[in-house]
Structure 1
Amino acid sequence: MTIVDFEPFVAELATVAGDAILPFFRTALQAQDKGARGQFDPVTEADRAAETAMRRLIQSTFPAHGIVGEEFGDHQPDAEYVWVLDPIDGTKSFISGFPTWGTLVALEHRGVPVYGVMHQPFTREKFFGDNARATWAGRNAHGTEIVHHLRTRDCPALADATVMTTSPALMEPGERARFERVASEAKLVRFGGDCYSYCMVAAGHVDLVIESGLQPYDIAALIPIVKGAGGVVTTWSGDEAQGGGAVVAAGDPRVHEAALKLLAG
C-alpha cells in the first residue's frame, strides 16, 4: 500500500476519535492526575474512550500493524507500520474549555513518520501532512466545506519571529534558560496552543514552536504536517524529532538555524 491508500482510513480514525471526545467537551468532566515530579498531568474519560475507539478500528482493519498510544501503551511497536496515537493533545486546555487541543494520529513506516493528522472536532478542522505536502480541511464562515494547501511563511531572523511554547514552566531550569535566549530576541512570544501551535507554523501564522519533555505521541503526527508545508522539525541538537524530547519546529530554515544556535547549551 502507498501512503495515499491510507488517507481515507486516517481520516476515519480522526473522526471516530472526535465522535468519542465531543460529548465530554465543556461538561463537568473530572480529570485524574497521572503526573510525576509534581507536574499536573491530567487524563479524562474522553482520552481513554477516544484511544479505545481508534485501537479497535486499527486492530480490526490492520491486525499486523503496531500501535503506540498515550493511554494504553504499546502493541507490536516493532511492526513495519505503527500507528502513534494521542487522543487528546492538550488535555489541560480541554478540561479548561479552550479549543486549543486536538487528536493526533501518525503512521510510521519502519520508524519514520510518513503521515500525520491533527483533528480538532469542536472547530471541525483537520490538518493533514505527508512530509511532501500539507492541507487544511474545514468550513468557512458560511458553513461550506473547504480544503486548501498549507505553506509556512518566510522568516529570515528571530527579530521577525513569532515564537510559541505551551509553557516555560514545563521545562527544566537549564532548558528554560536556553528558551529565554530565543524568546528575548523574538518579535512576539505566546504561550499555550499545544499541537495547535505546530499547525499554525504549517499554516504560516507562527514561526517557531519550542518545547521540551515531549513523548513520541506528542510530536510524531505533527512532523509530516510541518515538513509537508515547507517547515523543519528537529530536536534542540538538530537530530530527528520523532522520539520526542526537546523539540523545535520552524517554518523557515533560517530562523530554525538561528534558534538552534541559542538552544545549543
Structure 2
Amino acid sequence: MTDGVTAQNQPAYRVLADRISEQILAGEIRPGEQLPPEITLAERFGVHRSTVREGIRLLEETGMLRRKSQKRLVVSVPDGTHLADRTAQALIMRQITVRELYEANLAFDPVLARLAAASASSTQIARLHRNLRESRAAVDNQVKLSALDAEFHLLVCEATNNEIFQTMRQPLHDLFLPMVSDLVDTIDTSERMITAHERIVAAIEHRDGVEAEAWARRHIEDFKRFYLKAALDFDRPVAYGKPVQA
C-alpha cells in the first residue's frame, strides 16, 4: 500500500480506515483495547503518519474509535446515534415523504409492541408506567407531552430486548419526531394518544402480544388520520426540524 490514491481509486487514508475496521470486526482488536500508536500503524501499513491521522479521524466519526486522551485511542462499539444520524441524513437526501415515513413506522411499531409483550422485564414495564403517569400530568403542556410520546416509543422498542430493532428504529424515530410536533401544533391529539399508550402498556404487562400489536397499529394509523384532518401535506419531504414546506 502506498500513500495517495490506490489502484482502486480510493484515498490511502480510507483504505487504511477500512483495514483497521476489518481488524476490529474480525476481533483482532477488541472494544476497550488501545489502538497502536500512529508511528506503529504508519510502519505497518507503509503510509505517512498524516494518512494514519486521517484514517483515524474517519473511524472516530463512525464511532469505532474514541479518544480517552490526546494520544490514547481505544476501540469502541458505535452507539445508535452515530448510525441513526448517517441513516437519517441519507433518507433526507433521498427526499423521503411523510407518507413513506408513516408506512415504515406502521411496519415496525406493531411488531415491536408484540415482541415487547413477550420480552419486557418488570423494570421496563415500570418505566412504561412512569411514562404514562408523566404523560397524564402533561396533557396541558404539548412540548413536554411530545417529548414523553417520543420516549414512550423508545421504551417499547427497548423492551423488545433486541439490539437490532433498537438500532434500526432510531433513525425512523428521529425523523418522525418533527412530524409529530408539526401535528400537535395544529390539532390536539393528547386524549387519543394517551389512551393508545395505556392500552399498549396494559397489553405488554399482561403478555398479550396480539392486543399490543393491534393497539400499536391503531396508534400509528391515528397519526395519519389526524395529520390529514389537520390538512397537513402527507406527501411533502421530511427533514430534521420542521418538514420542508411544499
Does TM-score exceed 0.5, indicating one fold? no
Bigger Cα Rg: 2
> Which structure is higher in strand share?
1
> Which structure is higher in helix share?
2
Please report the TM-score for the alignment, with normalisation by the length of structure 2.
Answer: 0.24
Bigger relative contact order, structure 1 or 2 (CA pairs below 8 A, ≥6 apart): 2
